[in-house]
Structure 1
Amino acid sequence: MESKIFQVDSKKDDIDVSENAKDTGSSDGGATEIYIDPVLEQKVMRKFDIFVIPQMVLLVILAYLDRSNIGNARVFGFEEGIGLQGTEFNNLTSLFFVTYVVFEIPWVMSIKKLGANRVLATAIVCWSVVTIGFGFVKNYHQALALRLLLGLFEAGLIPCLTFLISMIYTRQSQAKRVAALYAGSAISGAFGGLIAYGIQTMGDRHGLSAWRWLFIVEGIISLVIGGIAWLTMPKNAVNAWFLNEEEKGLMRARHQRDAIYKGVEEFSWSYVKMAFVDPFIYVASLGLFCSSVPLFGFGLFLPTIIKGLGYDSLQANYLTIPVYVLGTLSLYLCSWVSDKLNRRAIIGGTISLLVVIGYAISVGTANGGAGFFAMFLCAAGIYPYNAILLTWVSNNIKPDHKRSVSVPLFTSLANISGLISSQIYPSSDGPRYITGNSVSLAMEFVAVLCVWGIYFLLRRRNIIKEAMIAKGATDNGKQGDRALDFKYTL
């Protein structure tokens, strides 16, 4: 076996790799092929799976708990407790997305500058304090101010984590890891229902209503874990604290080998322009926008929808648990198959049909059992679609700096859907909420069409590149993923 020597400068984060590599004999004069021991590489990837992915999932669980607990609090007195009227509750859920959308790109760009540990820990500590503050609000305007702050501090979480995953794992193995993030959102729904059920049965304590304790308890949990994350989350992929010097060298060499990024690491505004003018980002954003209407509506209003099926408020909270469990299982299975086959379109475009069927059932019948079954179908399709689409976009963006803008741009445009999803389930539309379920059905159908729009766009780009290569072309005058040497994952 040929020897490998990794020269690692632990004081800086850019790539600096030197190794005894074999000469490829190419005409460029001395090109070398980087060889990495696959056994050692697998060992390093297992370390990331053990030390990083569980932390990511935990952060997502906490974020979604602190974001959607307002839906659980609603069914046992939040609106009456602070005197909300008309559509004020819906305003609280929708205006969260104003700051959430605006601040996504700055959060992700800060990862490259400051490191994942500092950025993510700061975000979670700040939103935890805001969540605790919800336990003491007195009126609508105080609650609105806190929801805007919550959106600001939670804005970058999913795109930041997705970007970090894209820096660690190969394109063929990212879907399972991104799926873990969405599994966190589904698991948070189950935990949210369980915690809400426990706190609701606890009742009032020390002069505070049960719904106030819901915010306080979950906020304190997030605050403690956020402080720990500063110490346990790695700064970046190549200088993770749990890697030894040999393993850090491997990650630097692997960065080059996988061709995720080639060239200098300095930021240029040309990368921002590349992200903003790529039609692929906007077609994908439309798909995620449409699918996020049922995603956000499902996460915020599932207890409300179940209560509208004829169950009481206590049942509405704990009956969300099995629904989210099925959503988590479906998410894992679909993502595993997507990575195994290295196919995104066929999986995402098929599984989302379950959402269309589920909402069609809920709109078409008043039967409580059928409506509850429909929620299982919706959960089985909502989470896999969004996870696969996010992975698909991350797979097909190059270089790193373009990806650091493209991913949050893609998600921020999609997250504008939160302004819609928060308004389609007003109390006046109960108990069946036909309008909200109908809108979710229509949006998911458009999301299915977008999958195939993305597929044909990327397939056409691959065909054009293959035709140029067949004619002997070595350069098409474009950069990044639009360059001739990059093949899009379909």
Structure 2
Amino acid sequence: MEKSTHEPTADEKYEVSSSLEKGTNADNGDTRFIKSPEERKLVKKINWVFMPLVIMILFVQFIDKSTLTVSALFGIYEDTGITHDEFGWLGSLFYIGYLAIQLPNQYLLQRVPISKYLGVILMIWGVTLGCHALGRNFAELAGLRFLLGFWEGCTYPAIFLLISTLYRRSEQVIWFGTMFATNAAAICIGSIIAYGIGHMDGHLNIRAWKWAMIIFGIVTFFLGFPFYLFLADKPKSRWFRLTPEEEKIVDERTRDNAVVQNREIKRDHILEALKEPRLYCFFFCSLFLNLQNGAISTFASQIINRMGFSSLTSVILNIPYGASIVLFVAIATVLSHRFQEIGIIAIISCILPLLGAILLLVLPLGPVQLLGLYLSTTSPAYTLLQTYISSNVGGYTKKIFYTSANIVAFCLGNFVGPIMMVGHTAPRYTPAMIGFIVADFLTALMFLYVRWSQNKENNRRKHLEEKGLISPPPPNRELLDLTDKEDLSYRYRL
């Protein structure tokens, strides 16, 4: 028999390279993709082109926001005459600005190129941060903190949206984990930098807290230029330098995500979202988790200082606090990815901050309380919350709306949290800690409900499919911009 001399076409090669494992995950109903060598190469290309800039913006965003925390130890109280409770308000007002930008941000994310948008925003917020060094009293600092939050509030929704667009649903938990691990790494590295800045106190007659604002503001301003020019902000961005075969793989990945970038704002997507109980569960999960996050991130240095450590030592002791967040986020992320499980890992992650708040309440005043502080991280649970949204909401406008609702709750939680740390309740802040314990417990219950309801819906759709009542998805499914409710072949990740 003669050997065939037929060379496979690009389409035939793609069909082989994007093969799927037959069968589904018993828990999630997800089709389990076996990545071809070509797709693995593509993912590496996306990682190297896209993620370095994302990590940089998240790094400076968290450091810029947290300059207030170390400023408490570097003379801001003495120079501006603010009180303990006014300091808490400065921490909170940042999130009022963060909240104020969300509605126009939701519109602009769908109407303008994200790379140009974020690049300009970075330059503006760098200038705003530097201007903090000119603040002379509470009123001036309050206005600047509002503006800083206003500009920084564009960041998370844009990055959430890009990750959910560029990566498969099964891959997204790794990168959301990376986002929050980057925040924690910023605590570690930022504390080291802040320790050095602390030794600049008085140099050129400028206090250390002002040096922190100026230095980090300059870094942020200049980061805006590479973002404007080089951020890959769509699946087929020219910066990925895709081959024709890779473009076909990108189309398949887009079908998996059920998210197609478009500039049409669909009101029916928003109305559908407003009718879903899980939207409100996600909202309150975000709100409750960020009560504790806002309070601890704003007052961490002062809490440590009240344990009997000096100002500079208190800054250094923020490093293991950041390291503990990196560790816990990494564990939650790896477990979720390894077992393809979001809900149960999220419920377990709620135990960490709950236990941390209990230990801060009951342990003797002093260094032993560091154990409670280092456990008081809500980042693992919040990482999985965002993964739930990204992995289980189909339709571009609907996903933006869910993400924006999450960010609104994030702002409200971080606004209320620092205000709960009332000065006369220091050093234990008993009412606030009790509030955090209750909030963490309720969050775990809501994660449990969401997992149960999505599993129930998966089973219903599976039953309809077995009866032949669900039509096969159309070949141009990725272009229809269907929501997860409209597309009955869609399966929720649990």
Provide the TM-score with structure 1 as the length reference. Answer: 0.88
Any unmatched runs of 5+ in structure 2? 1-6, 19-32, 473-480
Query: CA offset at residue 62 of structure 1?
Result: 0.6
Tell me by how many angstroms 1:2 deviates: 4.3
Q: Distance in 1 between matches of 2:354 and 2:84?
A: 30
| Residue number in structure 2 paired with 1:487 | 491
- Number of residue-to-residue matches in the alignment: 464
Answer yes or no: is 1:80 the counterpart of 2:86. Answer: no
Q: Is the 8 A contact 2:262 2:396 kept in 1?
A: no
Q: Indicate if the aligned counterparts of 1:4 and 1:20 stay in contact, CA closer than 8 A.
A: no
**Residues 394-473 of structure 1 mapped to structure 2, 5 A cutoff:** 394-473=390-469
Q: Give 1:47 deviation, angstroms.
A: 1.3
For residues 105 and 470 of structure 1, what CA distance do their matches in structure 2 show? Answer: 42
Whether the 8 Å CA contact 2:169–2:257 is kept in 1: the answer is: no
Q: How does 1:113-124 map to 2 (within 5 A)?
A: 113-124=111-122
Matched residue type, 1:141: A
Residue 72 of structure 1 contacts residue 317 of structure 1 at CA under 8 Å; is this kept in 2?
yes
Amino acid at match of 2:321: V
Matched, 1:4 2:10: yes
Post-superposition shift, 1:386?
0.7
Alignment deviations for residues 451-478 of structure 1 (CA, whole Å, 9 cap, x no partner): 11211221222233233333332269x9
Q: Does 1:65 align with 2:69?
A: no
Secondary structure, counterpart of 2:376 in structure 1: helix
- Asked if structure 2 preserves the Cα contact closer than 8 Å seen for 1:305 and 1:433, the reply is no
Mark the runs of 5 or more structure 1 residues left unpaired by the alignment.
7-17, 23-34
Work out the CA distance in 2 between the residues paired with 1:216 and 1:341: 45
Q: 1:158-194: CA deviations, max 9, x gaps?
A: 1210110011111111001011111121112112322
Secondary structure at the counterpart of residue 300 of structure 1: helix
User: 1:194 maps to what in 2?
Assistant: 192
Shift of 1:479: 5.5
Question: Where do 1:88-107 residues align within 5 Å?
Answer: 88-107=86-105
Separation (CA, whole Å) in 1 of partners of 2:420 and 2:352: 21
CA shift digits 1:339-396 (9 cap, x unpaired):
12111011111122122112111101224233111222223xx221111110111100
Amino acid at match of 2:489: D
Counterpart mapping for 1:46-57 below 5 A: 46-57=44-55
**Percent of pairs with identical residues:** 21
Q: Distance in 1 between matches of 2:17 and 2:324?
A: 48
CA displacement at 1:52 relative to structure 2: 1.4
- Which residue number corresponds to residue 30 of structure 1? none
Q: Distance in 2 between matches of 1:262 and 1:52?
A: 18
Query: Structure 1 runs of 4+ off > 6 angstroms?
Result: 18-22, 262-265
Mapped pair 1:135 → 2:143: no
Sort the Cα spacing of 1:212 and 1:263 in 2 relative to 1 into closer, same or farther, 3 A.
Answer: closer
Residues 165 and 174 of structure 1 are in contact (CA less than 8 Å); yes or no, is this contact kept in structure 2? yes
Partner of 1:238: 236
1:163 is matched with which residue: 133, 141, 161? 161
Aligned partner letter, 1:416: L
Moved more, 62-71 or 196-205: 196-205
| Other structure's SS at 1:254 match | helix
Task: Identify the residue that residue 45 of structure 1 maps to in structure 2.
Answer: 43
User: What is the 5 A alignment of 1:142-291?
Assistant: 142-246=140-244, 249-250=247-248, 252-258=250-256, 260-261=258-259, 266-291=264-289
Q: Deviation per CA, 1:57-86, whole angstroms, max 9, x where unpaired?
A: 221111111112101101221122112136
Deviation at 1:54, TM superposition (A): 2.3
* Aligned partners of 1:88 and 1:140 also within 8 Å: yes
CA contact (8 A) 1:396 1:488 kept: yes
Classify 1:249/1:85 alpha carbon distance in 2 versus 1 (closer, same or farther; 3 Å): same
Partners of 1:37 and 1:345 in 2: how far apart?
25
Distance of aligned partners of 1:479 and 1:238 in 2 relative to their CA distance in 1, 3 Å threshold: closer
CA separation in 2, counterparts of 1:37 and 1:389?
26
Q: How is 1:304-315 mapped onto 2 (pairs within 5 angstroms)?
A: 304-315=302-313
What amino acid is aligned across from residue 347 of structure 1 in structure 2?
I
TM-superposed CA distance for 1:36, in Å, is 11
Match of 2:236, SS? coil
Residues in 2 aligned to 1:424 and 1:356: alpha-carbon distance in whole angstroms: 16
CA contact (8 A) 2:200 2:207 kept: no
Corresponding residue for residue 26 of structure 1: none
Matches for 1:5-20 after TM superposition, within 5 Å: none
